Amino acid sequence: MSENIMELAKILRESDNIVFFGGAGISTASGIPDFRSSDGLYSKKLNRSFSPEQAVSHSFLFQYPEEFYEFYKANLIYKDAKPNACHKALARLEEMGKLKAVVTQNIDGLHQAAGSKNVFELHGTVLKNYCLDCGKPYQVDYVLEAKGVPTCKDCGAMVRPDVVLYEEGLDQEVLSGAISAISKADTLIIGGTSLVVYPAAGLIHYFRGRKVVQINKTKTTVDEKADLCIYDDIAKVMSEALDMM
């Protein structure tokens, strides 16, 4: 057991109001790759090349809905993915009364599947969808099973995922809840995120507590300000730290 993980376990024991801020690296152990690792989208029909970020943007959805859904269903929905050791460790911390909130940039719903209750999904979730005209809700299976662009059974309008696409703003209620949780925390654990996607990454600046823990496989911009940095697999780190508590 490394000294860093022992130190993390000590911080967890001494903390009463922990908030976890996470990104795509949390779900890679569940078999969900960061979509930015995609080689990009190329459509012969459009005769243009698109980056993954462009392919999941607001303008792309409405200009090229068929191509949007082709990319979206192939690269952002992983219905069979299961929570990994990190998701489960965070749920255990919440059960213990130590973890007060999870603030996530992920859209896969795995934190809730693991048992976490207080989750702020900054970028929404693939599990919920709605009609653009009448607002009728639809489950993820409806989108997956649709041929081409999913449309509403009631009014025929396009059904879109309840996710925050590029060029769209964050939900203000979710945003304010996340800010409130982070500002009240005594320990902030940042994990599995490169901290390059804004405005989400900027939320960590609302932290006023005692300890900042950074867990990531590579260095980030917050490392020099963190009290503890662990460069390792976050699923392994969180699981081992809880076992030491």
pLDDT tens for 142-152 read 999 999 999 99
Whether residue 204 sits in one domain with residue 234: yes
Contact 215, 234 (CB under 8 A): yes
DSSP β-ladder status, 119-121 and 99-104: parallel
Whether residue 154 sits in one domain with residue 56: no
The angle subtended at Cα 185 by Cα 233 and Cα 225, nearest 5°, is: 60
Is pLDDT above 80 for 35?
no
Whether residue 68 sits in one domain with residue 19: no
Is pLDDT above 90 for 210?
yes
Whether residue 40 sits in one domain with residue 22: no
CA 108 to the chain's CA centroid: 7
Whether residue 202 sits in one domain with residue 144: no
Q: Return d(Cα 30, Cα 113) in angstroms, integer.
A: 12
The active-site residue, picked from 58, 87, 111, 123, is 123
- Catalytic site residue 123? yes
Is pLDDT above 70 for 41?
no
Q: Which of 163, 182, 214 is the last residue of a domain?
A: 163
The angle subtended at Cα 31 by Cα 218 and Cα 116, nearest 5°, is: 85
Partners of 22 in the beta sheet? 104, 191
Whether residue 172 sits in one domain with residue 140: no
* Domain coverage including residue 156: 128-163
Whether residue 185 sits in one domain with residue 117: yes
Whether residue 178 sits in one domain with residue 108: yes
Whether residue 231 sits in one domain with residue 191: yes
Q: List Cβ<8 Å contacts ≥24 apart for 3-9.
A: 4/228, 4/229, 4/230, 4/232, 5/230, 5/237, 5/240, 5/241, 5/244, 6/244, 7/228, 8/213, 8/215, 8/228, 8/230, 8/237, 8/241, 9/241, 9/242, 9/244, 9/245
Residue 198: what residue type? Y
Number of domains comprising the chain: 3
Whether residue 21 sits in one domain with residue 136: no
Partners of 20 in the beta sheet? 102, 189
Distance spanning both ends of the chain, measured CA to CA: 13
Q: Which of 13, 47, 75 is the last residue of a domain?
A: 75
For the stretch 125-171, pLDDT in tens is: 999 999 999 999 999 999 999 999 999 999 999 999 999 999 999 99
Q: Return d(Cα 56, Cα 51) in angstroms, integer.
A: 9
Q: Which of 163, 187, 218 is the last residue of a domain?
A: 163
Partners of 213 in the beta sheet? 189, 228
Whether residue 222 sits in one domain with residue 197: yes
Query: Average pLDDT of 19-33?
Result: 92
